[in-house]
Structure 1
Amino acid sequence: MNSSGKNVVKGIFWAALASAMWGISGTVLQLISHNLKVPEAWLLSARTLSSGVLLLVISALVYRCKIFDVFRSWRSVMWLVAYAVLGLMANLYTFYLAIQTGNSPAATILQYLAPLFIVVGGLFIGNRPLKTDVIAFVLALVGVILALTKGNLGQLSISVTSLMWGLGSGLTAAFYVALPRPLVKDGNPPIVILGWGTMIAGILFNLYHPFWVQVPHLSLAVVGSVATTVIAGTILPFTLLLYAAKFASSDVISIMDAVQPTVTSILCFLFLGVKLSLIEIGGMVLVVIGIYVLQRGRRQYEEKQLQQDAFDD
């Protein structure tokens, strides 16, 4: 294998590991909400603020004073606040409630629909859908229906409340992806944007419910679980993705997102007693294939556009 091939393999490995970290975090969130009964207000305040502090410390060590460049213009500040509130805060809140009212595999697969929400949002501003967009939408829709009904269209395998929170997590995940793009295009490192966004979200969560108020019994299980969501759900995966980007392209890395729902489903089955039928598993596989078709089609379209622009010049 040549050096280029070895680099791609490295990129795939680190991206898959990052996605697996999110899968572990999703499983631990179900443990926290269903078994340990940790109040969501306290968890969101403690988890988000501590993640923001750690991310900014890492950013400062790497980029030093450049971490404040995002505050040089009001435009950047507005995008950052929008990302923190509509992306991070909303996504963390809806995803946790989707797990709390349902289960982690269902919440994860619904959040995994974020790329479809981005495409649908583009339709409202006049973007014409590609053929692969339509194929992906149909595959994902059939997959979600199978995963959430177990093949019985007259009955959901999760509550309607959980379904709505799950769809909300998918929509807010789309905001989470789209809103920081202008800031990254301006030259701000992604980890810095994530750090400030998480810090702002953490402060706002704490204004609603300070982490030192109504603290749950901090058993070893609670402390370990919350620490896992901070490290495996935020710090490690994002760092690993940045490292993976050195070896492989974004389209290759994005394929590894499928590892997250897979890991979550396996861990919930092994350790939390969440049973999945073959129909549910098949539905999840269809969703993963649909998102893959969407991402691949979009990537090929962007490459053709770049080639056409270069030819016209």
Structure 2
Amino acid sequence: MQKKRLLGIGLAMFGACLWGVSGPASELLFAQGVDVAWLISSKMLIAGVLTMLLALVKAPQAVMAPWRNRRDAGQMVIFILFGMITMQFIYFKAVAVGNAPTATILQYLAPVVILVLSAFMARTLPRRQDVLIIALAMFGTLMVVTKGHLTQLAIGPRALFWGLLAALAAAMYTMLPAGLLRRHSPLVVTAWAQLLGGLVMTAYRPVWQNPPHLDRTGIAAYAFVVLFGTLIAYLVYLASLQYISATAASLLDAFEPLGATVVSVLMFHLHLGGPELLGGALIIATVCLMAVAGPKAPKVKPAVATAKIKKSRRRPA
């Protein structure tokens, strides 16, 4: 039993690191002139086809289940448009206008955003411990975006805007498919979201028009984002849930911003000062505190209850 738990922990850590590393890899692609919309449409389409093929092999009878009633079909469409596509585009836009560590750390505020949104929807005030968590997260964010100089921004206004918007998008990405994930296979839900999301994005930004010209490093980075940072990361995460709980796996998500930061420092020689490291640590600590200590938002209707599903990063389809 202990060996299986350790295996689950290792898988969850590995998956989170893959999601995190896809941020710096995409940053390298943007430096070579790759358009954000092209990256999203191409990678979602490729990952969607591969994930759907896997779903057809593993659960062929469940593939069409989400489309058999209007409620699930409508929720699927909403999730694809305002969850999968929106989260993917906004996160990578945040990386493009800023840098991968900052975008990933700010996106990691999503559980705090869910806490606030859930309290608002339930029309109740957060509990005292919830307020403390929110305050710690906000202070950590302040350290990241000001580098300790509290009277001025240390990152561009656009980077801050897209980074905070990424946290909101990630929260919606988590909340929107809650009912679907209770009634249907997460693999099937994600396969449809990636495939149809890729088709929608391709209609907006056709992958065959003006494709980027990448060198060998760029090709390797693109392959990593599509295969390891999207497909394999999600499959590894699903495998980890066979041995550990979703709560335990969510704690190990902290390796996502850690992976993004370490790779950015090594690859791009990014310098992070003490205040930024402190701020990132505080944000990660608040999310861990939410999972371990149990402060939760007031109960809300099942349709908006929190559910865990991974982006194919950054937590990338």
TM above 0.5: yes
Give the deviation of 1:25 after TM superposition: 0.6
- Which of 101, 108, 118 lines up with 1:105 in the alignment? 101
Matched-pair contact (CA < 8 Å) for 2:180–2:189 = yes
User: What is residue 309 of structure 1 aligned with on the other side?
Assistant: none
1:75 is the counterpart of 2:78: no
- Which of 11, 15, 21 lines up with 1:14 in the alignment? 11
Q: Distance in 2 between matches of 1:209 and 1:111?
A: 25
Q: Distance in 2 between matches of 1:160 and 1:6?
A: 47
Q: Distance in 2 between matches of 1:300 and 1:149?
A: 29
Matched-pair contact (CA < 8 Å) for 1:107–1:166 = yes
Give the deviation of 1:128 after TM superposition: 4.4
Q: Distance in 2 between matches of 1:133 and 1:29?
A: 34
1:61–1:116: structure 2 CA closer, same or farther, 3 Å change rule?
Answer: same
Q: Distance in 2 between matches of 1:157 and 1:260?
A: 22
Q: Distance in 2 between matches of 1:222 and 1:130?
A: 48
Matched-pair contact (CA < 8 Å) for 1:15–1:244 = yes
- Which of 162, 170, 175 lines up with 1:173 in the alignment? 170
Give the deviation of 1:195 after TM superposition: 0.9
Q: How does 1:140-289 map to 2 (within 5 A)?
A: 140-186=137-183, 188-289=184-285
1:67–1:227: structure 2 CA closer, same or farther, 3 Å change rule?
Answer: same
Give the deviation of 1:222 after TM superposition: 2.8
- Amino-acid identity (%): 29
Amino acid aligned to 2:73: V
Q: Distance in 2 between matches of 1:128 and 1:54?
A: 44
- Which of 21, 25, 35 lines up with 2:22 in the alignment? 25
- Which of 128, 131, 138 lines up with 1:131 in the alignment? 128
Give the deviation of 1:219 after TM superposition: 3.2
| Partner-residue secondary structure (3-state), 1:257 | helix
User: What is residue 52 of structure 1 aligned with on the other side?
Assistant: 48
More divergent stretch after superposition (173-182 vs 130-139): 130-139
* Paired residue total: 297
Q: Distance in 1 between matches of 2:157 and 2:206?
A: 30
Q: Distance in 1 between matches of 2:273 and 2:45?
A: 38
Normalising to structure 1: TM-score of the pair?
0.91
Q: Distance in 1 between matches of 2:188 and 2:216?
A: 31
Matched-pair contact (CA < 8 Å) for 2:130–2:296 = no
Q: Distance in 2 between matches of 1:84 and 1:51?
A: 14
Matched-pair contact (CA < 8 Å) for 1:143–1:285 = yes
Root mean square deviation, CA, Å:
1.6
| Partner-residue secondary structure (3-state), 1:124 | helix
- Give unmatched runs, 5+ long, in structure 1: 303-313
Q: Tell me which structure has the larger Cα radius of gyration.
A: 1
Amino acid aligned to 2:16: S
- Give unmatched runs, 5+ long, in structure 2: 299-317
Give the deviation of 1:174 after TM superposition: 0.7
Q: Distance in 1 between matches of 2:295 and 2:179?
A: 19
Give the deviation of 1:43 after TM superposition: 1.3
Q: Distance in 1 between matches of 2:194 and 2:293?
A: 31
1:63–1:196: structure 2 CA closer, same or farther, 3 Å change rule?
Answer: same
User: What is residue 307 of structure 1 aligned with on the other side?
Assistant: none
More divergent stretch after superposition (19-28 vs 291-300): 291-300
Amino acid aligned to 1:167: L
Q: Distance in 1 between matches of 2:138 and 2:289?
A: 13
User: What is residue 292 of structure 2 aligned with on the other side?
Assistant: 296
More divergent stretch after superposition (120-129 vs 16-25): 120-129
Normalising to structure 2: TM-score of the pair?
0.90
Deviations 1:121-178 (A, max 9, x none): 1122224423332221111111111111110012222111111111111101011111
